[in-house]
Structure 1
Amino acid sequence: MPTDNLNDAAVRSQLMKLQKLSDLMDRAFVIPGTNIRYGLDPILGLIPGVGDTLTLAVSLYIYSSAKRAGVPWRKRVQMLWNVFVDWLIGLIPVLGDLFDVSFKANSRNMRIIMDYANRGPDAQT
């Protein structure tokens, strides 16, 4: 994504794709009879070792898109923290997957990107 104009149609299109990816990872499904949403993140996390690595790769892709979009360093540090916490706790069998259902690191990070995109490229906080 170009860093000079977050209102550009191509950039907005990329943001929409990232949002769809985030939703797939964090909110694609609903536990029947509840309002609890989850995505592929906790499902893939059930695969020992490999699952958490796959979800980490998706999270880092979203992070790298934020970096290319010019999201300020402080906000990117918050994003990396979200990714790290999600990955670290996700390594704990079963408990980590339950944590993934509630923590939703990708959704948190998309919120950071979208807040920045809606405030404009001059926003530094």
Structure 2
Amino acid sequence: MNGPERPRPMGMAIPTGNDPHSVRQRIEAMENLLERSFRIPGINYPVGLDAVVGLIPVLGEIVTTAMGAYLVWEARNLGMPKWKLWRMAGNVAFDTALGAVPIVGDAADFLFRSNTRNLKIVKRHLDKHHPSTQIIES
């Protein structure tokens, strides 16, 4: 396949470029995977790997923290200001600390969505500094 896109299962492609548009697509895809991959039947509430993998003691928190840190790393590659990066890292750290508490932490993963908060920070930055990356959402 030509260009910066790599094929994914079910026909979706994630761009591999370093341009702001490619980074935005990767961050949105990761946030979707971590926070809204599927819905709980009956109540129609979206959940993702962050909540599901977080149910595994210790290892689950390590994995979801690493995936959340990836969003911060991508934001750093965009050249975002350090205070925004610290805020994003604080969201990931708070989510990790909540998730470390047995039972209560698992419930908190459904309510405190650090990756969604971090996506909003990145989107605001991109919309202001790279308006060509905006996507009209329906």
Match of 1:112, SS state, is: helix
Alignment root-mean-square deviation, CA: 1.7
Unaligned runs of 5+ in 2: 1-16, 131-138
1:118 and 2:127 aligned: yes
Q: Which has the higher strand share?
A: 2
Please report the TM-score for the alignment, with normalisation by the length of structure 1.
Answer: 0.84
Structure 1 stretches of at least 4 aligned residues deviating more than 4 Å after TM superposition: none
TM-score (structure 2 length as normaliser): 0.76
Larger Rg belongs to: 2
CA distance in 1, matches of 2:97, 2:67: 15
Question: Which of the numbers 81, 89, 101 marks the counterpart of 1:72?
Answer: 81
Gaps of 5+ in 1: 1-7
Asked if structure 1 preserves the Cα contact closer than 8 Å seen for 2:20 and 2:126, the reply is no
Cα distance in 2 for residues equivalent to 1:76 and 1:18: 14
Give the number of the structure with larger relative contact order, counting CA–CA contacts within 8 Å between residues 6 or more apart: 1
What secondary structure, in the 3-state scheme, does the structure 2 residue paired with 1:37 have?
strand
- Please list the CA deviations of residues 7-33 of structure 1 after superposition, one character each: whole Å capped at 9, or x if unmatched: x99321221121111111011121223
SS in 2 for 1:70: coil
